[in-house]
Structure formats: C-alpha cells, structure tokens
Amino acid sequence: MTAAAYHDEYPSQANSYLRDGHSLWSWLASTDHKRIAILYAISITLFFFVGAVAIAIVRVELVNPNGQFISDDTYNKLFTLHGIVMVWFFLIPSIPNTFGNFLLPLMIGAPDVAFPRLNLFSWYLNIAGGLFTLYAVVAGGVDTGWTFYTPFSTMFSNSHVLAAAAGVFVAGFGSIATGVNFIVTVHMLRTRGMIWFRLPLFVWSLYATSLVLVLATPVLAVTLLLVIAERWFGFPIFDPTHGGDPLLFQHLFWFYSHPAVYIMILPAMGVVTEVITCFARRRVFGYTFMVYAMVAIAGIGFFVWGHHMFVSGQSPYASLIFSFLSFVVAVPSAIKVCNWTATLYRGQITFEAPMLYALGFIGLFTVGGLTGLFLASIPIDVQVHDTYFVVAHFHYIMVGGSVSAFFAALHFWWPKITGKLYDEAWARFAAILMFFGFNFTFFPQFLLGYLGNPRRYHVYPPEFQVYHVMSSTGASVLAAAYLLPPIYLIWSLLYGKRSGDNPWGATGLEWTTQSPPPTHNFLAPPSIETGPYEYHEKGEAPEAGLRLPHPAQSEPR
Amino acid sequence: MSAAALREPWTRLSRQREAATFGMWVFLTSELLFFSGMILIYAACRYLQPAGFLAAARETNVWFGTINTMVLLTSSFAMAVAAQAGDAKLRRLAIACLAATVALGLAFLTIKGFEYREDIHEHLLPGAGFAIATPGAQLFFSVYWVMTGVHAIHLSIGIALVGRLILETARRELPLSSPEIQATALYWHLVDVIWIILYPLLYLGGRS
C-alpha cells in the first residue's frame, strides 16, 4: 500500500464517540463499547447509591444497642437489599463492565468487542434484573440475606424472594454474555504484534475474570432456579421433610459465590498494576508471574467454596481439604502484592489521586487477605464464623480492594474517557478521606467480631456499643468521601481543562489515540513491537530527573 | 453476497465465522455447567434417597421418552445436513433441512406436552396428593420437572432461532455463508446432547 493510498483509507481526524449522535436513543441503542461502558457506569452508580442508603440506615440504627427507628423486619430487609444490590448490581459489573468494556478493545488495538450487539444486550439484561430486584424492594423487601440460604428462603420467608432471585438470575445471563464477549475479543481481535505476553495486565485480569464469569455464573443460575421452583411450584428439592438436603444449596451457592469474589477482585488487581507502573515510572516486576498468578487465582478459586461451610456440618475431611486449598489460593495473591511492592522499588513515585487509591488498595487488600487466612483455618473460623470479623474481612477485600481500585481506574482513565482533567487537589483529598473513613468504619468490626458480636443481629449487648459508634462515625466519613468525586468530576466535565491524549505519560495503546477516542477507537489499526510498561530501558531503573515527561501538565511536581 | 454477512468489528468473513463458532463454544461451556448443576443435584439426591429414586424412575413414561430421543436425534441430523448444505451453497437443501429441524423440534415439544399431560393425570407433580409414597420419590420428580422443563425452554429457543434462519435465508436477507447458521447448529446439537444425558437418568432408572 502506498503512503497516499494509506491516507485516503484512514482519516487524520475523526469525531469522538461522544459526538457521534446526541439523542437519548443514540445512547440506548448504541453498540459502541465505549457508550455501553458509560451506560453501565450510570446504572451501577445509581445501584451503588441505593445499596449505600440501605446500609447507611442500618449503621445509624446500630448506634443504639436496642435499635431506635426501625423494626427487626425492616432491619433484615435493609441489610439484604444492601448485599444483593452491592454484590450483583454494583461489584460484579463494576470494573469489568465499565472500564473493561471501555478499555479492553482500546488496549488490544481493536475497533470494538467481538459481538457489539450482544454487549448492548448484556446491559439490558442487567437493567432488567435490577428492575426485578427493585420491584422486590418496593413491593415489601426481602429478608433472607444476600445468600438466600435454604430452607429459610424456600419454606419460611414471607418476603419477595421470588422477584429478587429472578432479578439475580436474569442479571447473571448479562454476566455470561459479557464473559463470552471478552474471551472472544481477546482471542480474536488483538492487533498486529499484540501477542499474548504483550497484553497489558488489565487485559489479562479481564480474561481471567471472564473465565470465572462463564464457568461459575450458570451454577448460580441453576441454584436460584431451583429455589424459585421450590417456592413457586412447591418442588421439595431442598426440603428435609421430603428427603431433600438444604446443605446442597450452600454447596451450589458458594460454588458460584466464592469465585464471584475473584470476579470482583481480579479486575481490581489489573487496574492497580496499570496505575502503579505509570506513577512509579517502572516496568512491572515479574510480568509472567503476574499473569500466571491471576490465572491461578481464577482456577484455584473454584475449589475453595467449602470454607464457607466449616460450621454447616460438612464432613471434617472436606473441611480439611477446603482449608488447605484456601491457604493455597493465598499464594498467588501474595505473589501479586510482593510484585507490586517490588515494582515500586527504585521507582520515581508521584502521588496523584489514582496512585493514592492504588497504594491504599495494596494495604487494604493485604489486611483483607491476611484476615482471610485467619478464616481459612478451621479453629479460628469456628470462633469467629458469622461474626463481624467476617464482615470486616470481606469489606476489606470488596470495598478496600475493589472499590478503591474502581476509584483509581475512574481517576486514571477519566481524561481518556471524557477528554477533561479533574481537580487534582480535591481528588487527593477525597482519596485520603476515603482511606481514613474506610478504616474507621471497618477496623472496629474486626474487634467486634473477635469479641463475639454476631453479624446480622438488630440488637447487641451494650458493651459493644463503643465499637458500633466508631464504625457508624467512620461510615459517615466514608459517605462524605463517596459524595465528593461525583461533584468534582461533574464539575470537570463542565469546566475542566482539556487533558490531551496522554496526560500521565502512560504507556499502552489506549493512550495513543485521541481523548476522548473516536468512534472506531483508532484512525488506523495500530501495530506494536514491544511489551507493555516500557517506562525505561530493560534491566535498569530510571535515574532521578530523567522521567518521561507528562505532556499536559506543565507545572512542576 | 458475503459483504452482507460481514458485521462490525470484523474485516474478513472467515475471521467473523471463526469468532461466531468460538463464541458459541464458550457459551456452550457455560450451558454445560448450567446443566451440570442439575445433574449434580440429581446425583446427590439419588445418593441420599436411592429407593425413592428407583421407585419414581419406574413411573416415567419410557415410550414417550424413547420416541422423543429418536425424534431429537433425527432433528440433529437434519440440522447437521443443513449446516453442510449452507457451506456448499445448496440453498434449497439447506432450507428444507432447516424446516425439517424445526418440524422435528416441534414434534418433540408436542410429544413432551402429551407426556406432561399424562404425568399430571397420574399425580406425578410433587405436592399434595402425589402418587408415590416412597420417601424421595417427590425429589426425583422435582428434578424431572425442572430438568425437562429447562430442556424444553432451551429447545423452544432453538426452534425460534432456526425459524429465524429459515425466514431470513428464504428472503435472501441472510447469505448461506453467514456464521449464524453454524453457530445455531452448534447450539442445537448441545440441546440434543443434553437430552441424551437426561434420557437414561430420567427414564431408564429402576427398569432392569
């Protein structure tokens, strides 16, 4: 192809995806992965605030040992709502469906995902599921906890279990569609030179996540289907009076729901890798190990579900094996933490807001992971099972880990998504406030649980009040920190400075195209010759003062 | 002709076909786990209640089940011929075989409907007034209704998909080289394979 023909075929400039149609319909019927990502971002933000309001009421209620405003029933319904909405309508779709959707094709140099219409369909499935669930709330709520444990959910609960379970069932097919789409996209749409071991680690993390989505979600679907069959048609599958086994439900439920934890944390790990390498100006330490660690987490994650059932009456030999495997899955997670730390070593570290979130992630994820080892050892689990210790542990992973990484990603790629720069000072303030508020909320819960306060109870003995008051105070700080980013980010949309294509001086194909990217991502199909994270020559750390420039940021830092 | 089948983001039809079949295989893996969950429940319940399962399995209608197995296997054969005919650009044969697939699929559902009517008539629907007193028999029939019901839903989706292929191929909106025919064929075969597993589990137990 001659140079002239090349220029004829590929334009030198194109409209950004934001300018490609302005009507509501041009968004709701768009098959552009970037617009679908924005649709997801809007819907999960709404769900996030629904779940947050529910738990805010719970935290206010728990200031007083005997409760003060709401009935026991309402209390049960509120924490159930919080769990269901946060797990299935915020955390599971959070990073994969927003940033994953937006960035996966950009990072591998593709014009879109493999099946754009399926991608849009998955959003509608997610919304349909969400509406079912919200209907359950409006109609009177669900009181089973997010886990839908039988026989309570099938035989005794008088709340709207059917609608909620149906909602999660429908949303699950949206997850499967996304997983299929991502797997095929990574296999089939990598651009010239993008071999597997040149993929950015965020792409690897999405690939590992997709494997879990495709293999675990159908098992949840069938489990909920059986709960629906038992409640609706009276099929006694989990009913012990007819010879059924309620414990069977727990096995099937956790066969999905433990891997689901990795659906939430793997993309977060990918995000943190991108952010840390950029703001430390370092190649990632041990790229291949990072890849295998993520694939190992996704794989081993399927064989640890029994650690949720140490006190459910399962065989002690099963408990022994599940305990051992739960320790094994900690190994690749530890490899990742060590490699992030080693990446920082001799780096030229700067503390922009995304970096603050990413560093916060490492600390909080480590605390969450290590307390996970406490819970994986049977003697300690027997002591702290179903106490606030468990609540604190998984919030350190899901909020301290996933949500921190979500905010890291939001700030890191905001200039790429919108073309605008946010206010760095406010963003740093929000990041620090969030870290502080988070620890203030959840660290007291470790103590509470260790002292024996069970979770999910409306009332508690008065000697625990001081910890509950601390936790609730922390939660209000956390709430304030969550309200800040929407304000200054919307402000930046209206009044922010233009960011340029690559404000952070980051590597990666997504930074080589316009900000915001044109509809088909690249004006010409890119090709690459090197791996990701080329921040310095191989084998030597960057010298002080020789950092790659940050083109859009003129002021010295 | 082939340009009509090409969709974004693909630049070559061969690549798009490969992606469509690969995507369908990934989805079928997911479907396999969906049914595996049910088969696991069958296995666990049978382990817990062996006597009830054998007593109940004797009551399923093995004639309906066997005829349906043959109907579905034949439909899969028609589907396979249709896919090959599409590749070989034999339009008439492809459409005829797709139509035969839909007809056999509908026949399966009709026979299944008669079987369900018989089952309800014999009080084999779990709940009050259930026909078999052996403990665990209700469990077997719970699994029976869920498994065959979910399978029937899958088959109905398959019939709708193949029906759409017929319409679009006949109106020449869909070229024979379109990857949709191959992908739909894969789905159809999965629904058939699932039935081949369900048939011995549900109809052949307790009848030696």
Spatial distance between the Cα atoms of A498 and A551, rounded to a whole number of angstroms: 12
B47/chain A closest Cα distance in angstroms:
11
Q: Which chain B residue's Cα is nearest to A112?
A: B9
Confidence of residue A3 (pLDDT cuts 50, 70, 90): very low
CB atoms within 10 A of CB A6: 10
Q: What is the pLDDT of residue A1?
A: 37
8 Å CB contact between A170 and A130: no
What is the number of alpha carbons within 13 Å of residue B73 lying toward its C-beta?
A: 9
Q: Measured between CB atoms, does A184 come within 8 Å of chain B?
A: yes
Model confidence band, residue A67 (pLDDT cutoffs 50, 70, 90): confident
Nearest to A360 by CA among A387, A340, A339, A333: A340
Cβ separation A115–B135 shorter than 8 A:
no
> Which of A:97-126 have CB within 8 Å of B?
105, 110-116
Closest CB to B136: pick one of A229, A243, A252. Answer: A243
**CATH of region A33-511:** 1.20.210.10
- Nearest-Cα residue of chain A relative to residue B48: A243
A524 has a chain B CB within 8 A of its CB: no
Give tens-digit pLDDT for A180-224. 999 999 999 999 999 999 999 999 999 999 999 999 999 999 999
Which residues are CB-contacts of A226 (< 8 A; sequence separation ≥ 6)?
A235, A237, A238, A249, B41, B146
Six-digit token string for B166 = 């017929």
The chain A residue lying nearest B141, using CA atoms, is A235
Residues of B with CB below 8 A from A184's CB? 19, 22-23, 26
Q: Is A57 helix (H, G, I), strand (E, B) or coil?
A: helix
Give the separation between CA A149 and CA A159, rounded to whole angstroms: 14
Residue at B19 is within a domain: no
Q: Write the residue in A184, A226, A244 that is nearest to B19 by C-beta.
A: A184
Residue of A105, A214, A242 lying closest to B30 (CB–CB):
A214
Question: Would the pLDDT of B208 be above 90?
Answer: no
CB contacts of B48 in chain A (<8 Å) are 243, 245
Cross-chain CB nearest to B127 (options A111, A180, A234): A234
Is A372 within 8 Å of A330 (Cβ atoms)? yes
What separation in angstroms does the CA of B27 have from each of A190, A213, B30? 21, 11, 5
- pLDDT for the residue B9: 86
Alpha-carbon distance A372 to nearest alpha carbon in chain B (angstroms)? 27
Once rounded to an integer, what is the mean pLDDT over residues A55-76? Answer: 93
B29-61: b or e for each residue (b if 16 or more CB lie within 10 Å)? bbbbbbbebbbbbbebbbebbeebbbbbbebbb
| Distance (Å, whole) CA B71 – CA B101 | 10
- The pLDDT, as a whole number, for residue A9 is 62
Token couple for A514: 């316009």
Report the alpha-carbon distance of residue B73 to residue B196 in Å, rounded.
9
Chain B residues in contact with A226 by the CB 8 A cut-off are: 41, 146
Distance from CA of A251 to the nearest CA of B (A): 10
Residues of A in contact with B8 (CB under 8 A): 31, 111-112, 116
Give the tens place of pLDDT for each residue, B26-75. Answer: 999 999 999 999 999 999 999 999 999 999 999 999 999 999 999 999 99
Residues of A in contact with B44 (CB under 8 A): 245, 248
* pLDDT for A215: 96
Confirm whether pTM is higher than 0.90. Answer: yes
Q: What is the pLDDT of residues A223-243, one digit of tens each?
A: 999 999 999 999 999 998 888
Please state the ipTM of this predicted complex: 0.93
Nearest of A3, A2, A12, A5 to residue A524 by alpha carbon: A12
Distance from CA of B45 to the nearest CA of A (A): 7
Banded pLDDT at B129 (limits 50, 70, 90): confident
The answer to whether the Cβ–Cβ distance between A179 and B30 falls below 8 Å is yes
Chain B residue set in contact with A, beta carbons under 8 Å = 8-9, 15, 18-19, 22-23, 26-27, 29-31, 33-38, 40-41, 44-45, 48-49, 52, 125-127, 135-136, 138-139, 141-143, 145-146, 150
Q: Rounded to a whole number, what is the distance in Å from the CA of B44 to chain A's nearest CA?
A: 8
Is residue B163 pLDDT above 70, yes or no?
Answer: yes
Tokens of A471: 């936790």
**In chain B, what are the helix, strand and coil shares in percent, each to the nearest 5?**
80, 0, 20
Q: What is the pLDDT of residues A368-383, one digit of tens each?
A: 999 999 999 999 999 9
From chain B, pick out residues whose CB is under 8 angstroms from the CB of A235.
Answer: 126, 138, 141-142, 145-146
Determine the average pLDDT of the residues in A351-363: 97
The CA distance from B119 to the nearest CA of chain A, in Å, is 15
B1 has a pLDDT exceeding 90: no
Please give the full DSSP string across A340-401, using - where no structure is assigned: HHHHHTT------HHHHHHHHHHHHHHHHHHHHHHHHSHHHHHHHTTBHHHHHHHHIIIIII
**Which residue from B9, B31, B37 is facing A111, i.e. has the nearest CB?**
B9
Phi, then psi, of A523 in degrees rounded to 5: -70, -35
Structural domain containing residue B97 = 27-203
Residue B176 lies in a domain: yes
Residue A544's pLDDT band, with cuts at 50, 70 and 90, is low
Under DSSP, is residue A320 helix (H, G, I), strand (E, B) or coil?
helix
Which residues in chain A have their CB less than 8 angstroms from residue B180's CB?
A: none
d(CA B107, CA B113): 10
Is A262 in contact with B62 (CB distance < 8 Å)? Answer: no
Which of A189, A226, A235 shows the shortest C-beta gap to B9? A189
- Quote the distance between the C-alpha of residue A508 and its chain's center: 22
Residue A193, SS3?
coil
What DSSP letter does each residue of A460-529 carry, written as one string? Answer: --GGGHHHHHHHHHHHHHHHHHHHHHHHHHHHHHHHPPB--S-TT---SGGGTS-SSPBTTS-SS--B--
Residue A4 clears pLDDT 80, i.e. is over it: no
Please name the member of A176, A222, A244 whose beta carbon is closest to the beta carbon of B38.
A222
CATH code of B116's domain: 1.20.120.80
Indicate if the pLDDT at residue A555 is higher than 80: no
In this complex, which of B19, B52, B136 lies closest to A114 when CB atoms are compared? Answer: B19
Gap from B52 CA to chain A (nearest CA, Å): 9
Q: Which two tokens stand for residue A365?
A: 């994820």
Is there a contact between A235 and B48 if contact means CB atoms under 8 Å apart? no
B19: closest CA of chain A, how far (Å): 6
DSSP A230-269: HHHH---TT-GGGT--HHHHHHHHHHHHHHHHHHHHHHHH
Categorise residue B88: left if φ over 0, alpha if ψ from -120 to 50, beta otherwise: alpha
A191 touches chain B (CB under 8 A): no
Residue B178 pLDDT exceeds 60: yes
Count how many pairs of residues, chain A against chain B, have C-beta atoms within 8 Å: 117
> How far is it, in rounded angstroms, from Cα A327 to Cα A335?
13
> What is the average pLDDT across A143-151?
92
Q: Which of B22, B23, B41 shows the shortest C-beta gap to A237?
A: B41
- Write out the two tokens for A142: 């669900």
**CA A68, CA A171: separation in Å to the nearest integer?**
35
Indicate the angle between helix axes A424-451 and A404-418, nearest 10 degrees: 160
CA-angle at B23, arms to B17 and B25, nearest 5°: 105
Q: Please tell me which residue of chain A has the smallest CA distance to B39.
A: A222
DSSP B145-168: HHHHHHHHHHHHHHHHHHHHHHHH
Residue B46 lies in a domain: yes
In a domain, B109, yes or no: yes
Tell me which residue has tokens 């049910």: B38
| B52 → closest Cβ in A218, A225, A243 | A243
What residue type is assigned to position A534 of the chain?
Answer: E
The CA distance from A96 to A472, in Å, is 30
pLDDT at B177: 79
Number of compact structural domains in chain B: 1
CB contact (8 A) between residue B26 and residue A223: no
Does residue B33 lie in a domain region? yes
Q: Are A457 and A386 in contact (CB under 8 A)?
A: no
Distance from the Cα of B68 to chain A's closest Cα (Å) equals 24
